Amino acid sequence: MRLILFALLSALCLLRIPAVVKVKEARASWLASVFGLIALYTLGIVTPLDTIDSFLGGVNAANLLQAIFALLAIFFFNDSVRQLANVPIRSWTYYAPLLGIPIMIACFALIEDKGPTSANFIFDRMGQLATAAYVGTYMLTLLFTVIRLSYMLRHKARGLLAVFSAGMLLVALACACHLAYVVLFHFTPWHELALGIGSWFYRLFYVGLSVTAASWLTLFLSKQIPRLRRWLVDALWLTGLRVRVNTNRSRFTPLWDFFNETLEDGIYKSLIELHNYERANLTTFHETIQEKLSKIEARLEARI
């Protein structure tokens, strides 16, 4: 499940790169996918955990980084959804999740005998109050952020956004299970019950995040694919026409422009090159080609 989530976040991250440059609203979701990838990476699913943590001193600092990056990923997902739902920023609820990070760092510093590197770092030290405070702060912050995110979508949870909200609710349930595990294991003698409840955390957490990432990716593709398909066909046709009539000294120039420009910019540049070719050679293209060029120009002007 972790590898599936890693693949989904990788796809989101790569597909959002073009939009990040031009669209301010796309940056929050892109940062969320980047931080999510880093958080998963620090779990050791790509590079062994021992190798990662050895660069950080071999004292399980990778666990702290994973928690911080996971919080940042959820925080920026929260901000992306806020923009999608047109919800204004309310300072204390907006920045509250970030306050958990310095508290987590302080609690982590107070944990005794933090080494050596271990995937069971939390479980082995749950007897310490500092560990319980560290994990409890992490889970409370995650729970607050996820519930706030779901609350923002309460009036817009239709279709894919409903699936997105369902994934977030699974994450919230996972956080609640982990909080129950921390409280029961550290403050009561019911360790078996605590372990039973805590065992549901990873199952619910990664399923919930995978559902959320998949619905977000599908939502993005459903909006972008028709647009990309339309502009891509036009760009390829114009590039082919430029190569065929040899509008430039080098036949590689149109191909280079196709890859070096955004689709809309490449189309605009190709139209200029083709019109310059007509004027320079005192000629006009065939009527069917002229009609096609006029339609592309009209679409481009309508978008601008």
Cα-to-chain-centroid distance, residue 69 = 12
Nearest to 4 by CA among 213, 166, 175, 169: 213
pTM, two decimal places = 0.67
Strands of 105-203, DSSP E: none
Q: Tokens 């107070």 sit at which residue?
A: 110
pLDDT at residue 286 above 90?
no
pLDDT digits (tens, 9 = 90+) for 10-23: 766 666 666 555 55
3-state secondary structure of 116: coil
Identify the structural domains of the chain with CATH numbers, from first to last: 2-224 (1.20.1070), 246-303 (no CATH)
pLDDT classification of 105: cutoffs 50, 70, 90: very high
Q: What is the pLDDT of residues 146-173, one digit of tens each?
A: 888 777 777 666 666 677 778 888 888 9
Structure tokens at 133: 């405070």
Q: What angle do CA 57, 9, 19 make, to 5 degrees?
A: 115
Q: Which two tokens stand for residue 271?
A: 């139209």
Peptide bond into 116 cis (omega under 30): yes
Structural tokens at position 242: 């430029």
